[in-house]
């Protein structure tokens, strides 16, 4: 990663955080919990900049603009919403497992 | 089973008119799928986008960030055709079963 | 050979340095946890360690986010760091960890929204 990438990446991230902070309080709470969950599960999309996360902010900003509560947007089962979101995605765990298999093949 | 059916429904709605997430949700709710929320539709739209079944245009909105509008493409139409074929088959078989009882 | 020595000299050094700089901004208990996580995860690396970069980046992001939230590292990761790491790497038990995270997510949302 070049220094330029890092600065630009940071800038993008800061802009993203600022958008989160502009959401109504209940949306911010749910957004933060979602982000924490996604960081743990680690869908590969997290590596492609803020696309996956900023998509959620778009969805939330529009819902808030319509005067809806956050759970009206995500449904009560927020975890199910997250899992749907990354259903077809490889997770970090998948990647590690694949490279372990590769490693196993090489040594045998 | 309902999830897959919902995906077909969303694609069908998109195939009629270029539209956006919240509007699709409204239509599904009006149809009687009252427990479908925006979030559900959003996850379906992401999948349609990933599988390249739709074309996306961003247009400004007065409700917040620019809205993504979805229009069906050829691959989407083909997918939709397959969906209805499958659906006809499944529902005809279920009805057959019901008729036998 | 420890984690840092192992990667020194590889083309990943820059990325590792960037991680190190970010780590230094974290509270002490977070830094300690990060060190342990590094150790555990190293067992899952391929020869270059490249496959670990995204997973380390994800974990560091999680730590940064929750440190800012003012939570203790224990609240976030639980007391079974080793289990947490093997779950990250998709080892046995990953499914039950994911169920736990899922339940934690919904519980936190319900609690914080006051419902």
Residue A49 φ/ψ region, left for φ over 0, alpha for ψ in the -120 to 50 degree band, beta for the rest: left
Query: What is the pTM for the complete model shown?
Result: 0.78
Measured between beta carbons, the chain C residues lying within 8 angstroms of A87 are: none
pLDDT in tens, A62-80: 999 999 999 999 999 999 9
Whole-number pLDDT of residue C12:
61
Arithmetic mean of pLDDT over chain A? 82
**pLDDT of residue A108 exceeding 70:** no
Mean pLDDT to the nearest integer, C77-85: 84
Minimum distance, in Å, between the CA of residue A81 and any CA atom of chain C: 10
pLDDT in tens, A4-36: 555 556 777 788 889 999 999 999 999 999 998
Minimum distance, in Å, between the CA of residue C2 and any CA atom of chain A: 20
Three-class SS state of A49:
coil
Domain ranges of chain A: 3-107
Residue A27 φ/ψ region, left for φ over 0, alpha for ψ in the -120 to 50 degree band, beta for the rest: alpha
Arithmetic mean of pLDDT over chain C? 80
User: CATH for A3-107, among 1.10.101.10, 3.40.50.300, 3.40.50.180, 1.10.1900.10?
Assistant: 1.10.1900.10
Decide if B43 contacts A85 (C-beta within 8 A).
yes
Q: Considering only CA atoms, give the Rg of chain A.
A: 17
**pLDDT of residue C1 exceeding 50:** no
| CB of C20 less than 8 A from some CB of A | no
Q: Which of B19, B7, B14, B87 is nearest to B47 (CA)?
A: B7
Three-class SS state of A94:
helix
Q: Which of A58, A75, A87 lies at the smallest CB-CB distance from B65?
A: A58
| Position B31 confidence tier, pLDDT thresholds 50, 70, 90 | very high
| CB of C11 less than 8 A from some CB of A | no
Of A16-20, B46-50, C14-18, C80-84, least confident by mean pLDDT is: C14-18
Bigger pLDDT: C63 vs A1: C63
| Spatial distance between the Cα atoms of A27 and A74, rounded to a whole number of angstroms | 10
User: Can you read off the two tokens belonging to residue B39?
Assistant: 């979030």
**pLDDT of residue B9 exceeding 60:** yes
Subunits with at least 3 CB pairs below 8 A relative to chain B?
Answer: A
Measured between beta carbons, the chain A residues lying within 8 angstroms of C112 are: 29, 33
Whole-number pLDDT of residue A104:
65
Q: Which of C63, C68, C58, C53 is nearest to C30 (CA)?
A: C63
Task: Return the CATH fold of C3-113.
Answer: c-terminal domain of poly(a) binding protein (1.10.1900)
* Beta carbons of B39 and A65 less than 8 Å apart: no
Q: Which of B63, B65, B68 lies at the smallest CB-CB distance from A66?
A: B63
Q: Does chain C touch chain B (at least 3 C-beta pairs within 8 Å)?
A: no
Q: Which of A6, A79, A94 lies at the smallest CB-CB distance from C105?
A: A79
Measured between beta carbons, the chain A residues lying within 8 angstroms of B24 are: none
Q: Which of B39, B50, B68 lies at the smallest CB-CB distance from A81?
A: B39
Beta bridge partners of B56: B70
Bigger pLDDT: A100 vs A75: A75
pLDDT in tens, B38-90: 999 999 999 999 899 999 999 988 777 788 999 999 999 999 999 999 999 99
User: Can you read off the two tokens belonging to residue B29?
Assistant: 């709710």
Whole-number pLDDT of residue B12:
97
| Position A2 confidence tier, pLDDT thresholds 50, 70, 90 | very low
Minimum distance, in Å, between the CA of residue A38 and any CA atom of chain C: 9
Whole-number pLDDT of residue A62:
92
Whole-number pLDDT of residue C56:
84
Whole-number pLDDT of residue A19:
92
Among the ranges A19-33, C45-59, C94-108, which has the highest mean pLDDT value? A19-33
């Amino acid at each position: 990663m070049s220094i330029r990438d890092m600065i630009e990446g940071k800038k993008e991230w800061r802009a993203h955080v600022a958008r989160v902070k502009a959401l109504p309080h209940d949306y911010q709470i749910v957004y933060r919990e979602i982000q924490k969950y996604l960081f743990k599960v680690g869908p590969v999309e997290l590596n492609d900049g803020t696309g996956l996360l900023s998509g959620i902010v778009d969805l939330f900003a529009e819902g808030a603009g319509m005067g809806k509560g956050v759970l009206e947007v995500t449904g009560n089962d927020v975890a199910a919403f997250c899992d749907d979101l990354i259903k077809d995605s490889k997770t970090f765990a998948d990647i590690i497992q694949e490279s372990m298999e590769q490693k196993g093949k090489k040594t045998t | 089973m309902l999830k897959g059916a919902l995906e077909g429904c969303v694609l069908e709605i998109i195939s009629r008119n270029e539209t956006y997430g919240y509007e699709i949700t409204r239509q599904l709710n009006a149809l009687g799928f009252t427990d479908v929320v925006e979030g559900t539709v959003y996850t379906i739209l992401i999948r349609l986008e990933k599988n390249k079944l739709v074309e996306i245009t961003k247009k400004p909105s007065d409700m917040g960030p620019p809205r993504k509008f979805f229009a069906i493409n050829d691959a989407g139409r083909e997918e939709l055709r397959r969906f209805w074929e499958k659906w006809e088959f499944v529902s005809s078989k279920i009805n057959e079963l019901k008729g036998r009882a | 050979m420890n984690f840092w020595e192992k990667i020194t000299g590889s083309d990943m050094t820059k990325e590792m340095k960037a991680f190190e700089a970010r780590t230094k901004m974290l509270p002490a208990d977070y830094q300690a946890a990060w060190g342990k996580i590094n150790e555990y995860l190293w067992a899952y690396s391929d020869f270059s360690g490249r496959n670990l970069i995204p997973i380390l980046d994800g974990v560091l992001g999680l730590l940064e986010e929750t440190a800012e939230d003012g939570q203790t590292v224990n609240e976030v990761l639980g007391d079974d760091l080793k289990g947490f790491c093997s779950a990250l790497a998709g080892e046995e038990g990953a499914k039950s960890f994911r169920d736990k995270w899922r339940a934690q997510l919904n519980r936190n949302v319900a609690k914080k929204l006051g419902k």
